[in-house]
Structure 1
């Protein structure tokens, strides 16, 4: 074989598309719930979506199968949130495609020196590590706030996640008593 020829394997085009798009509140709640994340109340989801810095959605055969967002102040601090893919489409590169699009947008628009963070659930930390994210511990610890409100369901926080996940129930901190 001449040195100028290469042994290449043609990669089939992905059946998935990822584009900048904000989901509706119904899509947001549906994708979060199906992916195993607790849905936010409609009013909270509407406000959060409207205040996103950048949002992407993944589609397969014209149907929404995933989403991911960047929130933050637009200058100093950004957080990647709501990275979720429907279970039947997981482990097919959809999360990787969405993360690549989010990070490309950060490269295009975020100021030099901006801080980008995320919370990694379970094995998703391996995906995020592929993009350069590192565990903040022991230098920093992720924390959350669950105010002692009159309505204990008003704030989701960690307790809301624990209601959805038996694995997290073991780690739950009891709510303070008034």
Structure 2
């Protein structure tokens, strides 16, 4: 892992947010979708190289009480498999432990490439028959 990469508790700028989503394999978003995501999240992390380039990100959305969702975990392909995503997620989980009341429910949508990391950090599949459902509004 590049020792010059630091994790900051700030959001990326809009261009970096849109680029990281696209190049990491997440669904591309428009500026009209990205701006509210940047402004209305509960917590952000971004990984920055020594020369200021944003190479990874993650955020938490939710009510700050009992329900929190980890979203937008993305690392530029040139920087994947170096532990940066893990550092971001661990930092976000530490903030949840520090700021949210005990018993907070933390969830995420785990694409196949991220599932091993999420499992290593304690995320499990629901055992009560729950499933992830979604709807994309046209």
TM-score (norm 1): 0.72
Corresponding residue for residue 127 of structure 1: 117
The structure-2 alpha-carbon separation of the partners of 1:30 and 1:140, relative to structure 1 and needing over 3 Å to count, comes to same
- Say which SS state the counterpart of residue 112 (structure 2) adopts: coil
- Alpha carbon RMSD of aligned pairs, Å? 1.6
1:137 & 1:84 partners in 2: Cα distance?
27
Corresponding residue for residue 40 of structure 1: 29
TM-score (norm 2): 0.92
- Say which SS state the counterpart of residue 65 (structure 1) adopts: strand
More contact order relative to length (CA 8 Å, sep ≥ 6): 2
Q: How does 1:28-177 map to 2 (within 5 A)?
A: 28-61=17-50, 62-136=52-126, 139-147=129-137, 154=138
Q: For structure 1, list consecutive stretches of 5 or more residues without a partner in the other structure.
A: 1-11, 148-153, 155-178
Residues 122-176 of structure 1 show CA distances to partners (whole Å, capped at 9, x for unaligned) of 13111011110001255210000134xxxxxx4xxxxxxxxxxxxxxxxxxxxxx
- Say which SS state the counterpart of residue 123 (structure 1) adopts: helix
- The answer on 1:27 being equivalent to 2:21 is no
Q: For structure 2, list consecutive stretches of 5 or more residues without a partner in the other structure.
A: none
Corresponding residue for residue 174 of structure 1: none
2:80 & 2:102 partners in 1: Cα distance?
33
Q: Which ranges of 4 or more aligned residues in structure 1 deviate by more than 2 Å? A: 12-15
Q: Give aligned pairs, total.
A: 137
- Say which SS state the counterpart of residue 15 (structure 1) adopts: coil
